Structure 1
Amino acid sequence: MKKTQAYKIIKQMIMRNRFTQKQLIDINQLAKELNMSRTPIQKALTQLEQEGYVTITPQVGVFIKLPTLDELHERLAVVVAIDVYMAQCAAKFITKEQLKKISNILDLMENVESEMEYEQLDHQFHRIIYQSSNNNYAFNLNKSNWDYLRYVRFTNEIFKDKFREQSQLEHRLIVQALQERDVILVRDLMERHLRRAEGLVIDEYRLSKTANLIVEK
């Protein structure tokens, strides 16, 4: 469907910072660029509004939307709850092959130098655990949430210095609990791991919002 195609392309444009926050997103220009009519473009933008990427104001236009601090709190709360649930399920269903994969990823994480490489491996680590939960609905729901959080570019601090060392230690403990199939311990370790990251995200986002207000003044 053209609407699905338009949605994927426009979402990628937004993720890659094609539009600034105050820039009007021109539907006619997008239709021309994507060689489509206005209808699939409008439907795609409506879906993106529902997901929090844009705001559509009648008679005004379409603009990029960044979350308020409360909205970020709400989304992170949902993300953590679903991720912890999937980790619990993973403790029951994870296979030896999947355990081997995440152990190999941990080894790679200890030897990479760039934050970008570490972040990519971190995503792979969590993705394998959540896939092993055998709950496709929860996995796909949170995949959409994580796409959004990566778009916001909430923080890089979790992948730096002492935070990175702490993260890697927590990963090791989670893997050990998964190997032992200890559902309660996996749940507690994953929740502690994610709550720490959540705190860093909120703190840095609050600081960035404050800095932007100062610049605008």
Structure 2
Amino acid sequence: MTRENPLFPAKSLDLRQIVYEKIKEAIVEGIIKPGEKLSEVELANSMAVSRTPVREAIRQLAKTGLVTLTPRKGAFVTLPTLEDASALYELRANLEMFAVSLIAMAPPMEELAKFREIFESMDNDTSPGEYLVQDRNFHNFLYRASGNRFLSGVLLDILDMINLYRPYSLAEHNYLKALSEGHIAVIDALLDKDGERAKREMKEHIDMTRTGVEAYLQNNPAKDLS
């Protein structure tokens, strides 16, 4: 199935937010690649808008970490680094372990069962794009299901950076089945209302993802944009 390019012309009263969301989606989906320079003119032409909302969107994206502003050179999609990946995944692991410990006290059985069916159907022949969509959906669901709005808020704040790194987790090894089984192990622990087991399974799953990201970045170090 052909993926729709988010950079089609924007038509909305809330133009600034629409332009921001379109550029962010293009970055997270890999349509605009890490290290690629963001041209205000080209982006404005693609979306049939003026350069002003594009400029504002780029500044807003720089605050999230998705874009790097380099003096006298311009704006670039942030190149993930090994150091940043390690720090981000350590934070993510601890936050998501806390989230599943909260969910285990009153797990939403029906929703968890649906995700279990989805991941049970996946193997190493599954499209990486399909896996990444469901992976994002599952973890976003966990953030909301935690019931702690402050925890959810922190996770959502770093979600864009997490999504930027996600494709790298699949770049080095074909282990979609193992990653899917990691999700299932977390789900089974939650269905059993076993918070400690859910935390262990979540840590193991994120550590596996982190290993894939770090392996890719070690073999493909970021270039200095300064």
Same fold (TM over 0.5): yes
Check the 8 A contact 1:112/1:118 in 2, yes or no.
Answer: no
The superposition leaves residues 157-189 of structure 1 with CA deviations (integer Å, 9 ceiling, x where unpaired) of 5872xx444334433332232122122221122
SS in structure 1 opposite 2:178?
Answer: helix
Amino acid at match of 1:88: S
**Larger RCO, structures 1/2 (Cα 8 Å, 6+ apart):** 2
**Match for residue 199 of structure 2?**
187
Distance 1:167 1:158, change over 3 A: farther
SS in structure 2 opposite 1:109?
Answer: coil
The structure that has the greater radius of gyration is 1
The superposition leaves residues 112-133 of structure 1 with CA deviations (integer Å, 9 ceiling, x where unpaired) of 6434334433334434333321
CA RMSD of aligned residues (A): 3.1
User: 1:79 and 2:74 equivalent?
Assistant: no
**Match for residue 11 of structure 1?**
24
Q: Which runs of 5+ in 2 are unaligned?
A: 1-13
The structure whose residues are more often helix, as a share, is 1
Q: Percent identity?
A: 23
Runs of 4+, deviation exceeding 4 Å: none
Distance 1:13 1:92, change over 3 A: same
Q: Normalising by the residue count of structure 2, what TM-score does the alignment of the two structures yield?
A: 0.74
Check the 8 A contact 2:186/2:202 in 1, yes or no.
Answer: yes
Distance 1:164 1:175, change over 3 A: same
**Match for residue 188 of structure 2?**
176
Q: Normalising by the residue count of structure 1, what TM-score does the alignment of the two structures yield?
A: 0.77
Check the 8 A contact 1:86/1:130 in 2, yes or no.
Answer: yes
Check the 8 A contact 2:67/2:78 in 1, yes or no.
Answer: yes
Check the 8 A contact 1:119/1:159 in 2, yes or no.
Answer: no
SS in structure 1 opposite 2:76?
Answer: strand
Q: Distance in 1 between matches of 2:54 and 2:212?
A: 36
User: 1:130 and 2:143 equivalent?
Assistant: yes
Residue 44 (structure 1) shift? 1.2
Q: Which runs of 5+ in 1 are unaligned?
A: none
Stretch moving more, 137-146 or 63-72: 137-146
